[in-house]
Amino acid sequence: MYEGYRRVMKLPVVVYPDKKLKEISKEVTAFDTDLHEFLDNMYETMLESNGIGLAAIQVAVAKRILILCIPDEEGEQSKDELLEIINPVVSNETGTTVYQEGCLSVPSFYEDIERHEKLTLTYHDRHGNEHVIEAEGLTSVAIQHEIDHLDGKLFIEKLPYGRRKKFEKEYKKLLKSKKS
């Protein structure tokens, strides 16, 4: 078979309470074809799962990689808008905003979470080129959500005590119903 040919694959998503999601991801050092293939598989996984963002640890790879594809005003996602973000660093966070967040690793749960409204993001693309962007609104929120994954944190950890307790009870019920 032609060696350069590789099929893009949907990868299995790691789901809470899997301990893998607590791992701290490591910096990427090689911007090679293996990385490109992995990014293509992450995109396929996100799209097939109806997600707008995905961190590598959600597909069991502890590397500082995340992807985002924020829909336009009509709710349409375009690959032209895809951000492949490697080794991200956030600075100049300002303001606060509340969004209803969801996560492919915590299926069926959406919660209001407070985060910074605006930020500056420095990151590398798949070729190792550095970029600096200003982000606000949903893009800023999704960047913060995904970077938390790289640091082993989930959005449910930001819930106040009572809401977290309620979530745990309902989530357990949901997992049980999925098993039977």
Query: Residues 102, 124, 148, 156: which binds ligand Y12 (CB under 6 A)?
Result: 102
Distance of closest approach, residue 104 Cβ to ligand Y12, in angstroms: 5
Distance of closest approach, residue 65 Cβ to ligand Y12, in angstroms: 14
Q: Which residue has the tokens 């990014």?
A: 39
Region binding ligand Y12 by CB under 6 A among candidate stretches 2-10, 32-40, 98-106, 167-175:
98-106
52 lies in the site for ligand Y12, by CB under 6 A: yes
Near Co ion in 103-132, by CB under 5 A: 103
Burial class (CB in 10 A: 0-12, 13-18, 19+), 10: middle
Nearest to 57 by CA among 14, 101, 104, 10: 14
Q: What does 101 interact with, of Co ion, ligand Y12, none (CB < 5 to 8 A by kind)?
A: ligand Y12
Give the integer Cα–Cα distance in Å for 167 and 102.
13
99 lies in the site for ligand Y12, by CB under 6 A: yes
Cα separation of the two ends of the chain: 43
Region binding ligand Y12 by CB under 6 A among candidate stretches 3-11, 82-90, 140-148, 166-174:
140-148
The order of strands in the sheet holding 130-136 is 53-55, 65-68, 83-94, 118-124, 130-136
Q: By CB under 6 A, name the binding residues for ligand Y12.
A: 49-53, 99, 101-104, 107-108, 141-142, 145
